[in-house]
Structures are given as structure tokens and as C-alpha cells.
Amino acid sequence: MVLLAVSAVLAGGACRKQTLADQEQIGASIGEVMASVDESTKGSGATARLPILRMPDEMKGPLWRQIFDGVVHTAYAASCLQSSFSACTGGARMRTFDNCAIGAATLDGMVTLTFSDANSCAVAVAGDSVNRTASFTLTGPYGGTLAVSSPGGGQTLTKTAVGFDYSVPGMERVLTGPGGHTLFDISTRTTTPIHITGTSRADLVIVSGALEVSHNLAGYKVTLSPQNLTWSASCTCAVSGTLTGTVSGGKHDGQSASVTLTGCGQAEVTIDGESDSVTMDRCASI
């Protein structure tokens, strides 16, 4: 039965279009920003989701192995869902992962929220802020890793009279394959602060700003401006709206780029007219 299942999936998979790596990682970077906005506005493990929800396809091993693991029962470490943010201590709340499980992958490291209001760890009045930094590694069952870090200073959310301002001094995602080769190295930062109206998932909207996504291996950047990225009360990310921009450098130099949100965790990413549907690994229904 295992051999038949593997053969059937391999035969069907040969006809499917390969995911476009550039589009996939641009989409993942947008999802990282939106989910981090959501996490920072909540500031609590009770409502914030895991820092990553899905293992990249490149870490899943060969297709025959994935099918085999799906048929043969495999025991995994304790779920990362058991981890939550610590109580407010010195203006900070931390969520620590100690080789816990996300499916077949394991997560190790932490996410830290540091608040300007050191007493209550809240973003309650205009001028209050929270800085989110991350340093964790997701390791696949066959040795590949996804490392997320904050080399430029993470992400900072500041409350305003009408919503929030959100800046990204610097975040980075590096994927290494099971063979030890770096498959992608993506950095993000805001060149213009992102302006957000609303106060909760029910009414959050990103209305303006500029996010620079740098594909460090391919040697290009794309700066995207958001228009009306609108949340749903049942999703940790915006579910509609668009981001548009132009690529600078690399093989895509001067080409147009856009990201259109099509649902919770789903987007259509287009570079110079070539589109791919992507799933953003930090966005989820709640």
C-alpha cells in the first residue's frame, strides 16, 4: 500500500507546476510582517499564534519519504502549543521553545516582546510601544533548517491616536537544505513606517508605508507599498488588500511586483506578470 501511494503521488506530482521560489518567499515575508503586527497588538500567548506554523517544502525531504511518514506512524516531541508568553517582568514578555514539535519539525529559540510601559507590558495609550525580536530555528526531520533572527532590531509597534505605527528595523529568514546548502536568505525592513488604523483584529487596516524585501542570494530588492490590508476577526493576518512595487537589481530589475491577499494566509504574488499562489507560513484562522 505504501509503494502504491508513493507511486500515485509521484505520478500526479510530475504534472504539477513547481512553486516559484521568489514569489513564495516574498509572500512569506509579508505574512511575517502581518502576523507580527497581530502578535504585538495582543502581547499575550493567550491570543498570539506560534512564530511559524508550517514547515517549508524544501525541509520535508523527498516525496517518497513524505508519503512513507504519512502512512507509518511516527512519534514526535511535545507540541509547541504548550509554550506561552511569560508574565511581565521588567517590561518584557518572552516565549521560549525548547526543541518542541510543529508536526514533524522541531522549534528551538525564543520570541521577546519588550514594552515601553515596563510596569504593565501594555500598549494602551498613544506613545506606548512594543519591540518584538525573534531568534529561533525550525529544524526539519531530515536536517534542513529555517532560522529567523532580528539582526537589524526586530519590529516595533507604537500606538497612535487612530491606531498604530509599525516599523521594521530588520528581520531575516535563512533556509538551509538538508544537504547544508543555503536555499534562501531574505531580509525585511521598512523604508517608511507602516501606518495602521483600528485597535483589534476586527478593525485593523494597514493603509500606507513601504516594506523592503531583500533577496540576498539573488541580489535584488523589492519595495512594496500596502493599500488597505484589512484584517478579519477570525485570522491572525489581513485577508484582503494589495501591496505593489518595483524590483531593484538582479534578474528582475525594473519589473513590477504585487501581492494580492486572497484569504486567510493565502496570496497571489506576481513579478513581471508571472504569478504564483502562495501560503504564508505565519498566518492562520482562529
d(CA 96, CA 108): 8
Which pLDDT value is given to residue 17? Answer: 40
Mean pLDDT (whole number) for 171-181: 90
For 191, the domain range is 2-279
Select the highest-mean-pLDDT range: 19-23, 53-57, 250-254: 250-254
Its sign, for the CA torsion 88, 93, 99, 100, is positive
Asked if residue 285 is part of any domain, the answer here is no
Asked if residue 18 is part of any domain, the answer here is yes
Q: What is the pTM of this model?
A: 0.81
Q: Is 178 exposed, middle or buried (0-12, 13-18, 19+ CB in 10 A)?
A: middle
Task: Give me the percent of the chain exceeding a pLDDT of 90.
Answer: 52
Asked if residue 167 is part of any domain, the answer here is yes
Which pLDDT value is given to residue 243? Answer: 97
Give the three cell numbers for residue 235.
Answer: 485570522
* Residue 172 confidence (pLDDT) above 90: yes
Strands 238-248 and 205-215 turn out to be unpaired
CB-facing half-sphere around the CA of 43: CA atoms within 13 A:
26
Asked if residue 38 is part of any domain, the answer here is yes
Task: Give me the percent of the chain exceeding a pLDDT of 70.
Answer: 81
Which pLDDT value is given to residue 79? Answer: 83
Which residues have C-beta within 8 Å of that of residue 23, sequence separation ≥ 6? 269, 270, 271, 274, 275, 276, 278
Asked if residue 39 is part of any domain, the answer here is yes
Give the tens place of pLDDT for each residue, 232-248: 988 989 999 999 999 99
Number of domains in the chain: 1
Asked if residue 286 is part of any domain, the answer here is no
Asked if residue 236 is part of any domain, the answer here is yes
Asked if residue 284 is part of any domain, the answer here is no
* Residue 7 confidence (pLDDT) above 90: no
Indicate the SS3 state at residue 109. strand
Q: What rounded mean pLDDT belongs to the chain?
A: 82
Give the three cell numbers for residue 257.
Answer: 511586483
